[in-house]
Structure 1
Amino acid sequence: MTPGNEQDSSRRNWIKNSTLAAAAILAAPQIHARETALAVPKARRIPIAVSTYSYWHFQEQKYPIEKVIEDAAKLGFDGVEILHRQMDNETVPYLNKLKRQAFDAGLSLPMLSIHQSFVQPKAEDRKKDVEHTIRCINLATQLGIPCIRMNTGSWRTKKRDAAYYKDGQEPPIEGFTDKDAVKWCIDSYGECLVAAEKAGVILAIENHWGLSSNIDYLLEIYKPLASSPAMGMNVDTGNFVGDPYPQFERLAPYATIVQAKTYYGGGHYYDLNLDYKRIASILRKANFNGYVSLEMEGKEEPSVAVPKSLKLLREVLS
């Protein structure tokens, strides 16, 4: 190669290398920004279920759970919470049918909501509800449901009218105290948790009126049992006496699952105007990532009120 050609070749290599270096410098900020964006964790999409209770408020004629599953899939819910009292029966074929229908529709079954009470002075009465709970644990296992909604129970010494839902005050049965009831709940839950741990099912205690209207009592029951892997908490946005937000903020860090009430058309039992933007903010602060299950408790037709409720929850929880 002649000296002139050598110089031309060196010049061409220098220009090529300089161009590549300049391109690398220009691209570096874009690459860094892209890598940074990938490194920043994205907010997880909170799954939203709908309770079958949203379609049936204990009227004489039950609303079929199969229809709720069908509707939930069409509307874009992530799951269906089953109300035990709404089930047609407890046979294995029926349970398997519901499980298969939900699976085919791409829906989960996150919770089975049952009714029981451990606020009962007679040990034999509490034992019956312990046995009922264990039977429901077996139902949940068959359905593939990982969580059961549980209550504390109540003294049933006061009529469930509008005044009751405002203050939640309920005097104990004569000769007993609320502290007695707290102990009964702890002991009875302890029995149920043995079966729940074996089955891998969570028992989620709810602020569901009665004794649990008092958040201090609810936590007094929950905390001694919280070391069990089967113990959980279901926080209901609509079941607070007085200002709901400070109480919701207290319970949110313990929440396994949340039930979100709406009251379109006026509530069947009481009305609340809940600020779901504020509720969503509290959940984010508590790093809650579990299911939120809609309980539409209003008088408006579910075909109208349930889609509106889903839209509201999607907007605030996104």
Structure 2
Amino acid sequence: MFTIDRRRFLAGSATLAAMASIPASAFARTETIEREAGVKLKLGLNAYSFNKQLREGSMSLTDVVHFCAKQAVDALDATGYYFPGYPNAPTDEYVYNLKRVAFVNGVAISGTGVHNDFAVADPAPRKKDVQLIKDWIVVASKLGAPVIRVFSGSARPTGATSEQALAWMVSDFQECAAFGKEHGVVVAVQQHNDFLKTAAETIQLIDAVGSDWFACILDIGSLRSGDPYAEIEKLVPYAVSWQIKKEVGRNGKSEPTDLTKIKAIIDRSGYRGYLPFEALDSGDAQAKIIAFLDKIRQTFAA
């Protein structure tokens, strides 16, 4: 885990000069989500579950909306990769048609997402990715999606320290969160076993950004060190959405997700909002998704 000596960090050393604009108060509070006590869940489907079909064009996001409606799934997490023209923003005509189809079928658009990389030393590509996030914040706002899913960085940086990369990220995410606030869209980072590998690292980033408009997408399958369920529980207070997956990681090895433990964590911690799931397997995608959906429903109804 990367850590920061805060007195040295805030003293403005040469390697962390980029962080000078961040107020010290950002490191003195914990940016947990304020919500009413108790649990209120709405199931969602992450569009990535139909990745192959959406990539090859045998399905569209509209088709996935109809699938959700038929399966009584509350929402679709409509990842940006599957919109025509990505990474460019889609036309308003496409956005509003998808929004209308979802609305008349009783399916919410619970979020969208892009792929950015802020763990690079060159400011030019980071600036480009900041603009990418801003463009898709506007798309999310038009869709009525309350959150946009983003990433930290694809890997630990070469030629720079993790502290330096964290400094770049905090500045970039503060800019994105401020823009998200202007458009009513929360920017939420998905810890993906990339630059962010642990719950503590994710919380450190969220606290440093220090915005009510910056939070966590809790990806249960990407916490690969130690006890995954302990890691998941640490992140629930920071989560505004999830990615429920069929496998979790324990000390670098995959094992089937114990949904009973996930339910117990949510019951203890309290969570209100969308609970998107993702099912990726070879074979019949619809059958695999329906089987996982049934398992989730049976477990959470218990």
Give matches, 1:280-299, under 5 Å. Answer: 280-299=263-282
Instruction: State the number of aligned residues.
Output: 255
Runs of 4+ in 1 over 6 A off after TM superposition: none
User: Quick one: distance in 2 between partners of 1:315 and 1:60?
Assistant: 31
Letter aligned with residue 105 of structure 1: N
Contact (CA 8 Å) 1:182, 1:217: kept in 2 or not?
Answer: no
Letter aligned with residue 55 of structure 1: F
More helix by share: 1
Match of 1:180 in 2: 164
* Unmatched tracts of structure 2, length 5 or more: 1-36, 248-252
Match of 1:33 in 2: none
Identity, % of aligned pairs? Answer: 24
Match of 2:215 in 1: 232
| Mapped pair 1:61 → 2:56 | yes
User: Quick one: distance in 2 between partners of 1:251 and 1:121?
Assistant: 28
Could you report, residue by residue, the CA deviation over 1:51-89 in whole angstroms, capped at 9, with x for unpaired residues? 111111488514311111011100010011101111124
Letter aligned with residue 118 of structure 1: F
Match of 2:44 in 1: 49
Contact (CA 8 Å) 1:196, 1:203: kept in 2 or not?
Answer: yes
Contact (CA 8 Å) 1:65, 1:82: kept in 2 or not?
Answer: yes
Match of 1:82 in 2: 78
Q: TM-score, normalised by structure 1?
A: 0.76
Q: Shift in Å at residue 177 of structure 1? A: 0.8
Letter aligned with residue 62 of structure 2: E
Contact (CA 8 Å) 2:78, 2:109: kept in 1 or not?
Answer: yes
Q: TM-score, normalised by structure 2?
A: 0.79
User: Quick one: distance in 2 between partners of 1:203 and 1:68?
Assistant: 24
Match of 1:217 in 2: 201
Give matches, 1:112-261, under 5 Å. Answer: 112-155=112-155, 172-174=157-159, 176-226=160-210, 228-242=211-225, 243-261=227-245
The one of the two structures with greater contact order (alpha-carbon pairs below 8 A, sep at least 6) is 2
Residues 1:300 and 1:114: Cα distance change in structure 2 (over 3 Å)? same
Contact (CA 8 Å) 1:204, 1:232: kept in 2 or not?
Answer: yes
RMSD: 2.1
Contact (CA 8 Å) 2:40, 2:273: kept in 1 or not?
Answer: no
Contact (CA 8 Å) 2:218, 2:241: kept in 1 or not?
Answer: yes
Which secondary structure state, in structure 1, belongs to the residue aligned with residue 76 of structure 2?
strand
Q: Shift in Å at residue 272 of structure 1? A: 3.4
User: Quick one: distance in 2 between partners of 1:106 and 1:58?
Assistant: 23
Bigger radius of gyration among the two: 1
Letter aligned with residue 125 of structure 1: P
User: Quick one: distance in 2 between partners of 1:77 and 1:60?
Assistant: 22
Match of 1:161 in 2: none
Contact (CA 8 Å) 2:55, 2:82: kept in 1 or not?
Answer: no
* Unmatched tracts of structure 1, length 5 or more: 1-41, 156-169, 264-269
Match of 1:262 in 2: 246
User: Quick one: distance in 1 between partners of 2:205 and 2:40?
Assistant: 31
Residues 1:45 and 1:287: Cα distance change in structure 2 (over 3 Å)? closer
User: Quick one: distance in 2 between partners of 1:194 and 1:234?
Assistant: 18
Which secondary structure state, in structure 1, belongs to the residue aligned with residue 108 of structure 2?
coil
Q: Shift in Å at residue 217 of structure 1? A: 2.1
Q: Shift in Å at residue 240 of structure 1? A: 1.1
Q: Shift in Å at residue 315 of structure 1? A: 2.0
Match of 1:313 in 2: 296
Contact (CA 8 Å) 1:46, 1:317: kept in 2 or not?
Answer: no
Which secondary structure state, in structure 2, belongs to the residue aligned with residue 293 of structure 1?
strand
Q: Shift in Å at residue 278 of structure 1? A: 0.2
Q: Shift in Å at residue 107 of structure 1? A: 0.8
Match of 1:111 in 2: 111
